[in-house]
Amino acid sequence: GNSVTQMEGPVTLSEEAFLTINCTYTATGYPSLFWYVQYPGEGLQLLLKATKADDKGSNKGFEATYRKETTSFHLEKGSVQVSDSAVYFCALSDRGSGNTPLVFGKGTRLSVIA
Amino acid sequence: DGGITQSPKYLFRKEGQNVTLSCEQNLNHDAMYWYRQDPGQGLRLIYYSQIVNDFQKGDIAEGYSVSREKKESFPLTVTSAQKNPTAFYLCASSIVGSGETQYFGPGTRLLVL
């Protein structure tokens, strides 16, 4: 079956530090990959996505590259801000199986301190 | 503005009571979803629907029921059979198709009195 594994949190960083949140996946088909962000008490917002191998998704200084050879989609940001404190979810949708709901990782909580 | 609305923001349930969570979207999406979020558990799929008058069970459907009488609406009922209903419930919608982005509402927090 399909699954997503992301690094355990919480992750605590100082402002302007470099961020990496690891995400690996298992899929029976050829998935699209997503990163969502959730701020306290809110729903999920799409941060970025990639639909094929070697695609790079980017938004708000965050980026992630679809690596088929390592089945990974790690999230990176060069300089985090306090406002980036949130929970980040990696997810996949198996494009080979018709319309399927997203499969989510367990989320990684990021705290950025000034 | 197009989007997904969920109501209420907070909901309290007494023992043995059924409660219904509302989800409405004006994005003209055919597919809608319900997820449950517990601390440290990520999101788990309860039910989803790809077309009016049809829906499928997700991973944790027991103790829940849904209906899809209109394209815009996908209410979720938490029945008395759900013994541990305290959680954050998220509704989402998308275009029907492989690999499509899902868009989420703001969520409803359900608490048991």
At residue A100, the pLDDT reads 73
Residue A31 · residue A2 · CB < 8 Å: yes
At residue B53, the pLDDT reads 96
For residue A9, name the pLDDT band (cuts at 50, 70, 90).
Answer: confident
At residue A8, the pLDDT reads 84
Give me the residue label for tokens 């989420």. Answer: B104
Query: What is the rounded distance in angstroms from the CA atom of residue A35 to the CA atom of residue B107?
Result: 18
User: Cβ atoms within 10 A of the Cβ of B86, count?
Assistant: 11
- B10-51 pLDDT, tens per residue? 999 888 899 999 999 999 999 999 999 998 778 999 999 999
For residue A109, name the pLDDT band (cuts at 50, 70, 90).
Answer: very high
**Chain A interface, mutation test: which of B35, B43, B49, B50, most A Cβ atoms within 10 Å?**
B43
At residue A97, the pLDDT reads 59
Interchain contact A77–B (C-beta under 8 A): no
Whether residue A98 is predicted with pLDDT greater than 70 in this model: the reply is no
Minimal C-alpha gap between B5 and chain A (Å): 10
Report the mean per-residue pLDDT for chain A.
Answer: 93
Whether residue A37 is predicted with pLDDT greater than 90 in this model: the reply is yes
Contacts B103 to A, Cβ<8 Å: 46
In this complex, which of A43, A51, A100 lies closest to B105 when CB atoms are compared?
A43
> Per the CB < 8 Å rule, is B103 touching A93?
no
In chain A, the percentage of residues whose pLDDT exceeds 70 is 96
Region A13-18: mean pLDDT is 97
Helix (H, G, I), strand (E, B) or coil at B98: coil
In this complex, which of A32, A46, A107 lies closest to B99 when CB atoms are compared?
A32
Query: What is the rounded distance in angstroms from the CA atom of residue A99 to the CA atom of residue B88?
Result: 25
Minimal C-alpha gap between A70 and chain B (Å): 20
Region B67-73: mean pLDDT is 97
DSSP string, A44-104: EEEEEEE-STT-EEEETTEEEE-BTTTTB--EEESS--GGG-EEEEEEEEETTSSS---EE
